[in-house]
Each structure stands twice: as structure tokens, then as C-alpha cells.
Structure 1
Amino acid sequence: MHFSFRQLAWLAVASGVLYGCSQSALQLSTDIQPKSEANLRTASTGTILNVQTGKTYTDLQTAFNELPATFTQSYELQLSGTFITKSVTLRSKNMGSFSLALRGVDGQAVLDAGQSESAVVFNGTSPANIRNITLENLVITNYSLTSGNTAGVRFFTIKGQNLLKNVRFTGGYVAMRATVQCEDITLEDVQMEGIRYGGPRFGQAPDDVGNVVLRRLKTSLDQSPQNLAGVDNVCQLKGFKSLLIEDCEFDGATKTIVDLYEMSNITIRRNKFIRSGSNNLYGIGIQLLPASGSTCRNVVIENNLFDNPLGTAIYLRGADVKINNNTFIEGGTTRPLISLEASSGNIELVNNIYLGKSSTNPIINLYQVNAQSFVSNNNLYFKPAGNNRNLIKGANNGKDLTSTTLAQLQSKGLDRDGLQAQPLFIGSTDPGRPAYMLTAGSPGRNAADATRCPAMDLANQPITVAPPDMGAYDYDSF
């Protein structure tokens, strides 16, 4: 029988073995691996200051309980050190228009769930009125490794404007869940490291969550061999009023990185999607599925890098979508890079770079597509020679668009200003520039449609020289 390091550590503590580690090591600094350190904590070592009352606590649940039943002012709890939280819950409070902030003040305070269900839960279920929650400068760690119904942080029926900023989730099953008619949620500068299953997981039904922003979110799921079977979708999101995902980096998902259901008004821009589908050829970078019989409207996917997906980079069903200025680097799969299914709105594919590595799968696959308009132009295609190396496969409104060459695409009214050539990326030749930026001599340089190009490239640099480059990066912006 083989034990993980986590199991061995618990066995050692249970048998009375003492570990020689200093108190400072228990503060979970940014260079400490949570899987080995979190289990050594047996008691809280931190302090909590209620800024408004001046009272101090050593227990977060007590600090919650002593907040007034009805808020008439905003409260801030300043946390310093490490706390064993074991599903500390805030509920039965009427906060009106007021707010509650939990802020770490000594770098990053640690909320350690002690391997119980969740580290902290905010439950605004009727008749409570909990709103405007801020979590900032915190580490959320050591929560349940086995239950997808729990999470490091849980929101139930939380109203108003809610923010997680500079929060690091480590060593658990699902990082964050928000369900049952929550309102606006922003995650900014949040890290999810070594998560076994995924997160955030927001929403269960249409209009279950309000406006959601994921900004500079960085994820790296647990890719160890013993956990590959358990690793799943990074983000599972359903039923929002609107969604913005920008400047994020998603690394390592066995299945799907961003899994979206039953929503419109989506913007996904300037993100890096790395290694989706690492243990499953049906893994997807971005998946969007509508409610039965409906269409997902106003979907924009631009300036993203899809780096070596082993499955499909983008799978959309029933979507009205613009997919512009993205760079796709195929990971050697038998699946198409983009799959569009049952779409009846408008489809726009402009200024993209598609680098295929296999000669046996199409770059773009269309299935039962009846788009009102289908625009594909100023794209750069490359596939190795061989049978069935379709650039596009399928039909729109009964018109067969299947093409293996740029000339065939152009004969069908597509990619009049497109290219079929090696993109010529910089790679490692210029360490001052991103590897997937085009070289100065690439055929994709200054070949994009400027009218459809965003103002910033993937490196957050203004695009000021016209015409811009194809793909996610612009050479002249550096």
C-alpha cells in the first residue's frame, strides 16, 4: 500500500511524532508547499482586530458572532497569522447597504480549514441580508479534498458587490463556490494552486449569479499522477447576467478550463489557456452551452493564447460569437481546434492564427450551423501536408464550406485576405518578447483587419501601428 505525503504526515501526528519546524514555517509564506505544511497546524496562532470596535479575537467564528444582527456601518476585521477555521459561517445578519471586509495585514493571513468542509462560509439565505463581502490578502488552505459540494470559500445568496483580491487558494478540492441567487462577484489577483478538482464553480440555474469578473486569476491544478483522475474543470460557471474573464492564466485541466452554461454577454480576452485536456482528448479550453432551444448572445473571445490543448480549444453550441485575434497552437490531437455547433446567430472569425500539428483533423469544424452571417477573414492557417487536412469542415445554411486550401476557402467567399503559411513565431530567439509573437519577417505581420482589432494585445500593450499583426500579440507594440 502506498501513502501520499499528506497521509504520512497525518499518520505521524496521530502517532505522536513531533516535527521540528519553527513557528514561522507555519505561516505559509509564498514559497512553502501547502500540502506538507498545512496538516501540521493544530491550533490558531493569529489575532483578529475589529477595526470599528477595537476588540480583538483569536477565533473567527466568535468575531462573526459578535457582529451586530443589523449593520448600521461597514465593518473590517484585520487578520494576522494563522487560524484553524473549520467551516466558520457568517449568517443571520442584516447588512443593508453596508459591508464586511476580512483583510490580512501581515502579508497573507491564513485560513486553514483543518481538512473540514470549507474554510469560511457566507450564508445569506432568507431572512438574512448579507452583502458586499471583501476578502483580501488571505491564504485559504487545507479544506476538503474529497467533496465537490464544499469549497475553500462558499457564498449562498450573497447580494451587492463582492470582491476577492490577492487571495491564494491551496491544497483542496474546489476553491470557491457561489450559488442560490448571488449577485456581483469579482476575483482579482487570485491564485489557485494545486487544486485537485477545480474552481471557481458559480451558479446552478439561469440568473443564479449576477455580473462576474475574473481578472488576473492564475490557476495550476494538481497534475500529480495520483490526482489526474480527479482533476476536472478549472472554472464551471452557469447562468450569469454577464461575465468578463481577462488577463488570466489557466494551466492544467484534465477536462475543460472554462465551462460555461446558459449565459450571454460574455467577454473572454487576453488570457492564456495552457494544456487543457491533459488526460482526456475531449478536454476543451472554453466550452459554452446554451439552455435548450436558446442562443448565447454577445460572446466575444479575443486576444487569447491557446497553447497546446490536447482537445478542442473552443467548443460553442448555439452561440452568437466573435472570435478574433487569437493564437491557437494545436497540441497534437484528433479533435478540431474550434468546433461550432447548432449556431443560428452571427459568427465572426477574424485575425486568428491557427497552427495545426496533425493532418487528420480540421482546424474549424461546423455542425448544423445556420448562422445569419458567417465571416472568416484575415486568418493565418497552417497544417502539415496529408489527407483530410481540412482548414474548415462542414456547412453553413446548407452551403458546404469544407476546404483543404486557402484557394478553396476563397472560392467559397471566405478569407479573401487570409494566408496559408508557417506563422514563424519568435520562440526563444528574443527573450524580451513572448514566444508566440510573430517574427519581424512573418507573413502575418501587419496583415490583420484593423477595424476588428482590439486596442490592446495579449501583453497588455497598446496597438498603435496600423495595420496590426494577426494573432494575440502585436510586434510593433513592444
Structure 2
Amino acid sequence: MICLSRQLTWLLLTSVFLSSCTNVDLLQHSSEPVPHQAAARLAANGQIVNIQTGKTYTDLQQAFNELPATFDQDYELQLSGTLLSPSATLRNKKMGSFSLALRGVDGQAVLDANEKESAVVFNGTGPANIRNIILENLVITNYSQTSGNTAGVRFFTVKGQSLLKNVRFTGGYVAMRATVNCEDITLEDVQMEGIRFGGPRFGQAANDVGNVVFRRLKTSLDQSESNLSGSDNVCQLKGFKSLLIEDCTFDGATKTIVDLYEMSNVTIRRNTFIRSGSNNLYGTALQLLPASGSACRNITIEDNLFDNPKATAIYLRAADYKINNNTFIEGGTSRPLVSLEASSGTIELVNNIYYGTSNTNPIINLYQVNATSFVSDYNLFYKPSGSGRLFIKGSNGKTDLSSSSLAQLQSKGLDRNSLQAQPLFNLGSDPVRPPYMLAPNSPGRNAGDRNRAGTNDLTGKSTEDDRPDMGAYDYDSF
């Protein structure tokens, strides 16, 4: 215990020293990829303390190797400063129901992969039992920028409930991969900045990953001219038991932002999607596709802002879903804002704002849709007038719903309480309020359906008033 106390005291003094170091502070606060030379100079400053044993390390792989073969308690490795970590791998450990935490203790400790494949790998294949991994207060940087099979952090067959919290990925190809029968994973307050190819790549087959949560995730691709042609989807996710994406900001995909495959029980709420499809007209902000011969079911998409300069906001093949309380902004494209294909069951489109800037493409495109119940109401439509303008194009079963005006929609039994008008957004007239919140004189103010309004709007404010606004923001709740 005396030894442990001395070690912790020494660590505290070291942390205080490091916090005053200009180079370390630069590493912790810069959003640019960390140069290899700077990381090498600072590597000696890094320190790891095994809280359970009191032993200190400067090498993460050695700290992993000296963990017991069979865990009989939770373990925590406290990291400070900058540590070179070229693919440090935890394997061949039987963790039972216990956890392993890697925590930065001086803000965000830096794991620098030294331009190798990954910074850290958790591999539970074979006889191992890797589970319940916690990564907190870390920067993962300087990993491979050339190989599509690499990532800053990699999970193989990691069981239990894992958590990444306050982790920043920068300077690499893919931020994180989780494959081969992993279980539950939560990402909270995670940033993925300047990633060359994309953010998380989770799952390879149906039921490959358990229950996944993305909360307050902020992610963007490298938008430099040299990388635009090679960039791709921000998030590629496949085969979960359930997925919750909430309060996230996705910015800068040259193709698709969130690409989902073969999953049901999906909730996507209070997120902002910006600049999808900037190099590809066929990109989307949010895409969900089933396996051949099956259907994705129980999908909720609510209280989101889709601000897309070129791409479709939502492309969906599913059954039984709700798309409510969203704001869709079109920047000029030949693609529909919302595309529903091969969909069935109950379909609900309520309290949305559809703002189009072109009269040559439909707002909503229906293709092979056969819904037992198709509900569209309390929406605000705007499209410039013109011979090619369509609010909805296509059919539900044998019923043609194609309409170029609200009057035509209403003649076909849809949108009895909807509006056709300019939304009149705030757009900076009130700097305290978000740009796409409705202005006080907007016709969409207090015109939504209370029964289908979310509990909170996109800002997180409660929408418990009896007359909610259409779209993702509620003016009176702000």
C-alpha cells in the first residue's frame, strides 16, 4: 500500500508537469493529425499505472501482457501524457464477467500508433474471453492512413458491454472497427475528426454485433481536395440487434453518412446530418437496406435535421416505420429528398418540413411500396412552381399518390392538416436560435400534431406544449 501511494503521488506530480507542457497541450487540443516526429519526442512523457497492482509502465503492450491470464477483479490502467502504441493487442485473457478500463487522467491521454495499423486491438477469438472494455479520456491518433482494413481501435469478438467515452480519433483511415460476433457497444461524447475513409465500421454479418448506442458522436471526413475522391461513408453498420443514434452531428461525407444494413429496432433521433453526397449525387444522409428476401422492421427517425447540398436525405427499404418531426433541406439536386423503396407494413410521415429548391425532382419518391397503412399529415411542403414539381411521386400498392400540390395530395386522402408554403426559417435573424428553427411568423409555428411530437426537439428542449411546431425544432420550447 505504501508503494502504491508513492506511485500514485509520483503520477500526480508527473501529470501536473505534463499539463504545463506546450507540446502536450497542443496534442490534446489540435484537431489536426499529430505528426510522427512530435509524437516521438513526447513518447517518453507517457505513463501507465495499473491501479490494482501499483506497477507503472511506459509501454501499453507490456501492461497488457502482465495482466493476469484469468481475471478475478476489474482492472484499470490509468494513462497520462503521450504513449507510442503501435497495435498494442489484448488477447489470451479470460476476463469472466470483469472489465478492463483504459482511462486518461490528465484530460485526454494520447495513444499514438506511430503510423502503424492500429493504436490498440482487443482480440477475443480462440480460447480468450475479452469483454467489458472501457476507453475513456483518450486521443487515438497517427494510425494507418492507407489501408482500408485498419482502424484506430479494433474489436474482434469482444463480449459484454463495452464503452468508449470522451475519446477523440484523428489522423487515420477508419476510426473504429468492431467485427466477428461482438456484443454491446456504446460510444458517448466521441469525436472522429479528419478521418480519411470513415468513422465506425461495425459488423460483417447478420447478428454480428449486439446492441449499439451512438450518443453525442461528432464525426467528419477529411474534406481536403486531395481526399475528396477517395472518401466514402462516414458510418457503415451491419447486423445489430438494436441501434440507437441520438444527439449526434455528422458532417462531410462525400457519399453516404450513415449506411445501415440488415438490422431492425433502429431509433435515430435529434441528430444533425450535413453535407452528404458532396462528391456523389447518389449518396445519402441515411440509408437502410435489408438482406435479400427479408425486411428491416421497427424503425423510428424523428427530430433530425437533414441539410444536404446534393444527396437524398433518407433512402429506406423497411417495414413498419415512422419518419416524424424532421426538417429536410435540399440544396439543389436531381434526387428526391426522401426515397422509400420496397417498403411495407405501417408507414408514417408526420410533422415534417420538406424544403426543396428545385422543381425538377420529387420531394418523396415511392417505389414498390405496399403499406397496409400509409399516413402522411401535418407536414409543411415547399417547392418552387414549375412543370416538373412533385411533392410525392409513385404509388402505394395500386393507389397512385403522385401529386404536384397539396390540393392533389388531399384529394387522394393524404395531408388533410398539412401546409404548402415557404417555411420562413430563422436563418440568423435571431442569433440565439438555430438557423433552421421556424421564424415567429412561420405558418408551421404551432401547426404540428401533438400526438406525434417527440418528447424533446432537436435542441433537447421539452416539447410538452399542446401546439408543437412542424419540423425538428420547437420555437416555444427553446
Give the TM-score band, short-chain normalised: over 0.9
- Separation in structure 2 between the aligned mates of residue 68 and residue 134 of structure 1, nearest angstrom: 18
Corresponding position of 2:30? 32
1:441 deviation in Å? 1.3
Q: Does 1:303 find its partner at 2:303? A: yes
Residue type matched to 1:97 in 2? S
1:41-190 counterparts in 2 under 5 A? 41-42=39-40, 43-190=43-190
Q: Does the CA-based 8 Å contact 1:99-1:131 persist in structure 2? A: yes
Corresponding position of 1:333? 333
Q: TM-score, normalised by structure 1?
A: 0.94
Residue type matched to 1:32 in 2? S
SS state of the match for residue 219, structure 1?
Answer: strand
Residue type matched to 2:100 in 1? L
- Separation in structure 2 between the aligned mates of residue 251 and residue 129 of structure 1, nearest angstrom: 36
- Separation in structure 2 between the aligned mates of residue 175 and residue 407 of structure 1, nearest angstrom: 48
- Separation in structure 1 between the aligned mates of residue 266 and residue 475 of structure 2, nearest angstrom: 27
Residue type matched to 2:32 in 1? P
- Separation in structure 2 between the aligned mates of residue 294 and residue 411 of structure 1, nearest angstrom: 34
Residue type matched to 1:345 in 2? G
Change in Cα spacing, 1:44 to 1:264, as seen in structure 2 (3 Å) is farther
1:326-475 counterparts in 2 under 5 A? 326-475=326-475
Q: Does the CA-based 8 Å contact 1:296-1:318 persist in structure 2? A: yes
1:256-267 counterparts in 2 under 5 A? 256-267=256-267
Corresponding position of 1:321? 321
- Separation in structure 2 between the aligned mates of residue 422 and residue 436 of structure 1, nearest angstrom: 12
Deviates more, 1:436-445 or 1:133-142: 436-445
Corresponding position of 1:271? 271
Q: Does the CA-based 8 Å contact 1:301-1:324 persist in structure 2? A: yes
1:230 deviation in Å? 1.6
- Separation in structure 1 between the aligned mates of residue 178 and residue 84 of structure 2, nearest angstrom: 22
SS state of the match for residue 64, structure 1?
Answer: helix
1:196-345 counterparts in 2 under 5 A? 196-345=196-345
1:339 deviation in Å? 0.3
Could you list the per-position Cα deviations for residues 158-207 of structure 1 after superposition, in whole angstroms to 9, with x for gaps in the alignment?
00010000000001000000000000000000000000000200000000
1:240 deviation in Å? 0.2
Could you list the per-position Cα deviations for residues 303-334 of structure 1 after superposition, in whole angstroms to 9, with x for gaps in the alignment?
00001341100000133210000000102111
Corresponding position of 2:8? none
Change in Cα spacing, 1:35 to 1:29, as seen in structure 2 (3 Å) is closer
Change in Cα spacing, 1:28 to 1:69, as seen in structure 2 (3 Å) is farther
Change in Cα spacing, 1:45 to 1:27, as seen in structure 2 (3 Å) is farther
Q: Does the CA-based 8 Å contact 1:325-1:350 persist in structure 2? A: yes
Residue type matched to 2:104 in 1? G
- Separation in structure 1 between the aligned mates of residue 32 and residue 318 of structure 2, nearest angstrom: 42
1:77 deviation in Å? 0.2
- Separation in structure 2 between the aligned mates of residue 399 and residue 324 of structure 1, nearest angstrom: 23
Could you list the per-position Cα deviations for residues 29-68 of structure 1 after superposition, in whole angstroms to 9, with x for gaps in the alignment?
4432433534432244301000000000010000000000
- Separation in structure 2 between the aligned mates of residue 182 and residue 361 of structure 1, nearest angstrom: 42
- Separation in structure 1 between the aligned mates of residue 26 and residue 74 of structure 2, nearest angstrom: 29
- Separation in structure 2 between the aligned mates of residue 24 and residue 72 of structure 1, nearest angstrom: 40
- Separation in structure 2 between the aligned mates of residue 216 and residue 140 of structure 1, nearest angstrom: 18
Corresponding position of 2:4? none
Matched positions, count: 457
Aligned-pair Cα RMSD in Å:
1.2
Q: Does the CA-based 8 Å contact 1:39-1:114 persist in structure 2? A: no
- Separation in structure 2 between the aligned mates of residue 420 and residue 453 of structure 1, nearest angstrom: 20
Identity over aligned residues, as a percent?
75
- Separation in structure 2 between the aligned mates of residue 317 and residue 335 of structure 1, nearest angstrom: 17
SS state of the match for residue 111, structure 2?
Answer: strand
Deviates more, 1:400-409 or 1:367-376: 367-376
Corresponding position of 1:4? none
**Where does the alignment leave 5 or more consecutive residues of structure 2 unmatched?**
1-19
1:454 deviation in Å? 0.8
- Separation in structure 2 between the aligned mates of residue 77 and residue 222 of structure 1, nearest angstrom: 32
1:229 deviation in Å? 1.2
1:28 deviation in Å? 4.3
Q: Does the CA-based 8 Å contact 2:31-2:193 persist in structure 1? A: no
Residue type matched to 2:22 in 1? S
- Separation in structure 2 between the aligned mates of residue 203 and residue 424 of structure 1, nearest angstrom: 42
Corresponding position of 1:7? none
SS state of the match for residue 131, structure 2?
Answer: coil
SS state of the match for residue 200, structure 1?
Answer: strand
Q: Does the CA-based 8 Å contact 2:363-2:390 persist in structure 1? A: yes
Q: Does the CA-based 8 Å contact 1:329-1:356 persist in structure 2? A: yes
- Separation in structure 2 between the aligned mates of residue 176 and residue 315 of structure 1, nearest angstrom: 25
- Separation in structure 2 between the aligned mates of residue 425 and residue 23 of structure 1, nearest angstrom: 46
- Separation in structure 2 between the aligned mates of residue 424 and residue 38 of structure 1, nearest angstrom: 49
Residue type matched to 2:87 in 1? S
SS state of the match for residue 41, structure 1?
Answer: helix
SS state of the match for residue 345, structure 1?
Answer: strand
- Separation in structure 2 between the aligned mates of residue 198 and residue 302 of structure 1, nearest angstrom: 24
Residue type matched to 1:100 in 2? L
**Where does the alignment leave 5 or more consecutive residues of structure 1 unmatched?**
1-21
- Separation in structure 2 between the aligned mates of residue 30 and residue 381 of structure 1, nearest angstrom: 45
Q: Does the CA-based 8 Å contact 1:256-1:276 persist in structure 2? A: yes
SS state of the match for residue 205, structure 2?
Answer: coil
